[in-house]
Amino acid sequence: QVQLVESGGGLVQPGGSLRLSCAATGTNFSNYARGWYRQAPGKQLELVATIQSDGNINHADSVKGRFTISSDNAKNTVYLQMNSLKPEDTAVYYCTARQWPITCWGKGTLVTVSS
């Protein structure tokens, strides 16, 4: 079974940058649809970005132009580069690996954007 471990979260000031990483073990990560979700305090889970097994990429409108999802297949890792961070980006960010009908989730990493 796929195991996902996120890292790279932390406290950053508005306008700053962070890069989240999601390392997968137990499988070839590139064979999955990979994604990043986030959940802000008191809010619903939100899909942030996805990268399909064929390399097709999508970003939510709320992060377009600021966040970029990418993958390093040799390292079995997916990244989320986050620039121009805003307080409303504060959330727990989760990495996912989906191969129908199963979706695996990481435990999440907290990103706090605050001055």
Average pLDDT over residues 77-96: 98
The verdict on whether omega for the bond into residue 101 sits within 30 degrees of 0, i.e. cis, is yes
Confidence of residue 111 (pLDDT cuts 50, 70, 90): very high
pLDDT at 1: 79
pLDDT at 74: 94
- Residue pointed to by tokens 């008191």: 42
- Residue pointed to by tokens 């992060």: 63
pLDDT at 27: 87
By the 8 A CB rule, do 98 and 35 touch?
A: yes
pLDDT at 84: 98
By the 8 A CB rule, do 40 and 63 touch?
A: no
Per-residue burial over 89-107, b if 16 or more Cβ lie within 10 Å, else e, is: bbbbbbbbbbeeeeebebe
Confidence of residue 53 (pLDDT cuts 50, 70, 90): very high
Mean of pLDDT over the chain: 96
pLDDT at 9 over 90: yes
Both tokens of 94, joined, read 């989760």
Q: How far apart are CA 82 and CA 84, in angstroms?
A: 7
